[in-house]
Chains A and B, each alone.
Chain A
Amino acid sequence: MNASQARRSTPLPIGVLAAIGIAFIGAPIAALLIRAPWSDVLDQLSSSGAWTALRLSIIVSLAAAGLSFVLGAPVAWVLARGAIPGRAFVRALVILPLVLPPVVGGVGLLAALGRSGVVGRWLDAAGIQLTFTIWGAIVATTFVAIPLVILATESGLRSLDPRFERAAAAMGASRWYVLRRVTIPLLRPQLAAGLVLAWARALGEFGATITFAGNLAGRTQTLPLAVYQARQTDPGAAIIVSLILVVLSLLVLVTMRDRIFAR
């Protein structure tokens, strides 16, 4: 069935519920636009530290997406193809950050990498501090975003016809060459989807970041944290900063939509 046929035959109850669903999602966004203090938007932007938070958010989310990709794709490869003991348990473990409240992730990261944490005390002795730094914000965000790369890549690897890679080997390609010229190119849609979803998740990250890296303007205060802080003092500024996040997210989703969803 093609799209136009599908469009013609929407039953009424589904249409009504779908309309309510779209309105439900759209209403808060519309309300943000209605309630925004448009008259002094420029003053608000410059005084609320929104630009600093935006710059920080972009750096942290891109770095977290990159780190998620570099570590997450190999995890997916091992889960899909490696001979690892307790595969089901390992898979559940690495997907856990998706289900856990991010604040729990933040507490866990503090226990592991905080100044007196299990690993953190060694880092501290070596002069490396993650908490209350931009590095801490990146680590906390990566923790939350990495399952999305793992899920997308593993499902891609599982749906990949293994005969392409075996045929490449029969043509004289080494394992590394097969990976580089066949496996990764064939996985590109799933890798791109994982990367973008991880980036989107990283952009909105709040709980783990504020717990592990704190809320320091100019150092760890990303856009969501800036919204949270502005909310307590200046609701108008909170709306303006929220709208920046809306525009940024929408921009990426629209430009990437063919790559990710139209498969």
Chain B
Amino acid sequence: MTLSVGLWITRGELQIHADFDADEGTTVALLGPNGAGKSTVVDCLAGLTDPDDGWISLNHETWIDVPTGRFTPPEERSVGVVFQTGLLFPHLSANENVAFPLRARGVPTPRARERAGALLGRLGFPADRADARPGELSGGEAQRVALGRALIHEPRLLLLDEPTTSLDVRARSELRPLIRSILAGFAGVRVLVTHDPVEAMTLADLIVVLEHGRVTQRGTPDEFRNAPRTSYVADLVGVNLFAGRLEPSGDGAGRVVTPGGDVIVAWPGTLPGVALDDVLAVLRPADVSLHVAEPEGSARNVLHGTIAEIAIEGERARVRLHSAPPIVAEVTRGSVDRLGLREGGAVWASFKAVEVRLIVP
């Protein structure tokens, strides 16, 4: 273990407690909705603010340890940061911004400028824009400068706080492969803050979910896909999640009783036939069928409701229903047209009990 973090911070109403460890050469994604406290954790790691309690250590070097009072000043920590708000120095050119960490460490100006220029080139920053001020740069150019400034001094810890959030769709799709290759090529510990589940699932080795200042789940992307623990995570990974009490209902079946409605499931052979609290049931949207009339057939779960939202993603459509319980179905785009689905319209949904996967505490 090389990075070890445990933080307790109070920011106004929000009480933040986050802890995680990470090895060199791995990427931690700090995932969560806006206002969950992610950027505060980044500020602590970067030394911009101090936690009320807790510790940060990297390679057995204590950056801060509140109980013992040990502290490394921010300028002596080996960290590179891309801040969410950019924080490029407005009075310095693109090249001077990237050269700043070198200059601050006493590298002579010509050498620092040369290295900054070379790095900017590798990051795909146009050479003829090197003297432009941050105010004159496009979003994509500014983020390349921010990445360069975070990398130039070869830090041991790389922090990327929402590196693509401020960009438009096109610049974002241009920058993603670059960020992917930077993360893959960076030898130290990488921490990526994001509210984009796709980024987290595709770029991280370990995902730490922060909701309302608390870590609600941590694990590998595979663990998240298979076993989401909160409805936020389930939403992120695109599955239906039902949390409630599992009760046996005879002939090899059971029902998960949730506040929003019941779901019939196959009774797991490994469980004794008694009710169980705090059970999670996961259902993939693609396993849900939609019908215009009440369906007949073997599916044990049949729901009726109105369509809250239809989101077209390429050839697929995600259809969110106001039903009991609420549910998301994924169908082909052709089905949407064929069934005449529209937002606000009534529809039937069905899925088999065996498609519902149970996660038992």
Residues of A within 8 A of B (CB): 163-164, 166-174, 177, 181-182, 185-186, 188
Contacts and interface: CB of A to CB of B under 8 A. Distances in A.
Nearest to A174: B75
Interface of B: 46-49, 73-77, 79-81, 83, 85, 87, 89-92, 100-101, 103-105, 149, 153
Given A171-B153, A173-B100, A166 B47 contact: yes
A167 B81 contact: yes
A36 to B, nearest CB: 45
B48 A170 contact: yes
Given A163-B48, A166-B47, A166-B48, A171 B101 contact: yes
A174 B105 CA distance: 9
A171 B158 CA distance: 12
A172 B152 CA distance: 12
Nearest to A166: B48
Given A170-B74, A171-B153, A173-B104, A186 B81 contact: no
A164 B89 contact: yes
Contacts of B83: 163, 167
Given A163-B83, A169-B75, A171-B75, 13 more contacts: A163-B48, A163-B87, A167-B81, A168-B100, A170-B77, A171-B81, A171-B149, A172-B105, A173-B100, A173-B101, A174-B104, A181-B103, A181-B104
Contacts of A166: 46-49, 74
Contacts of B76: 172
Contacts of B100: 168, 171, 173, 181
Contacts of A174: 75, 104
Nearest to B45: A170
17 contacts: A163-B85, A164-B89, A166-B47, A166-B48, A166-B74, A169-B73, A170-B75, A170-B81, A171-B75, A172-B76, A172-B153, A173-B100, A174-B75, A181-B100, A185-B89, A185-B91, A186-B90
A35 B48 CA distance: 63
Contacts of B103: 181
B48 to A, nearest CB: 4
Nearest to B79: A170
Contact of B91 (A171, A172, A177, A186): A186
B48 A177 contact: no
A93 to B, nearest CB: 33
A177 B105 CA distance: 10
B87 A172 contact: no
A168 B149 CA distance: 11
Nearest to B46: A170
A39 B153 CA distance: 71
